[in-house]
Structure 1
């Protein structure tokens, strides 16, 4: 069974994000980048499935600039077998990403796609669902447990009411939630081996899909700074403050 795992290069979650002075976007100059945490969880799960014998090959795929090769090498160091980079300097929207991934999946013919439920930069939580629709595959989103078997997958997913277990026929798209697992640290020997592994690099233009933007960013701004708190003597004073500030 082949498992394909899309991964994204994003600003490291420990870094404070800065908005550009002209408010056209986020400043990426001299900023530490890393693999999206949800993608990291997806890679870990795919590798665990291979270690259990449920999967035989794990293929990592990224869409982004040349620097995304380092993100793919992190996936290789974690245990992925192969890596594919669709190289572009465009900042693609979720629908465009789903279209590119659908083209790669058509060529690779995996039995399952395990991917992060969302990226921490755009927080769209849309690519997995769009990819499922484009491929006409079943989907199981927000997975907290995955059991792969021949021809099907049992997925426990997190919903508002608690947990829900669904059985989906393979091939399928599964998106990973935070509680699915805790990603491993890549060992130094594996990191050194990953640096020597060849990557399959293709230009976005060679994929041949429409990636034209459909959304326009008007302005990017930081959230307003939080004002200082005040001490109150009673519950009645809390209610009075909330009313005076228009909260209730």
Structure 2
């Protein structure tokens, strides 16, 4: 018995997205705006992101039958759904999939598609509020704070426990979701979760893995990087 917990839980950030690539390019150029046309929910994977998802599927396929995911839960955003679909294509047998909107990425409101330079130039009041309130609590106009995301993740975690107790569950979502699941599952505080995110932010298709032990889930790996051959190496702690 797992006392209301999944027997195993994988938390995976989606593969590299068009938005990730555009944000990196904007940072290199010192631009104010990230050049992405679709709305955030419709941002897809890059070619590299699809390769990452394929590698993750090959890695999952190397696990023994009784160690592979039995069910998957995914963010509704396209980049997450495509990552999961590509990865599951490499597995023998069908894995049931449930889409959960509570796993979506953080909503940035007026700061959407702006770099740090863009925020300072176009919304200096928001930049000042973030400095005053801190990253954890600052809620941009029309957007969410990290604590807002936590409210929906607490609900999602309760349903994971109720619906998938004793099962091996794969979750594919976004970097902030992975980080804040760690906050919930490990009882971290504000300083700890911010330092962990700063020091070792979730990689694209990086794997965070928990196993049930005692009265809860115990972290076994964080940010496991899967290469093109389906091999893995822990990239952050």
Range class of TM-score, shorter chain: 0.3 to 0.5
Q: State the TM-score, normalizing by the size of structure 2.
A: 0.41
Which has a greater percent of helix?
A: 2
Determine which structure has greater relative contact order: mean sequence separation of CA pairs < 8 Å that are 6+ residues apart, divided by chain length.
Answer: 2
Q: From the two aligned structures, give the one with the greater strand fraction.
A: 1
Q: Rg larger in 1 or in 2?
A: 1
Q: TM-score, normalised by structure 1?
A: 0.40
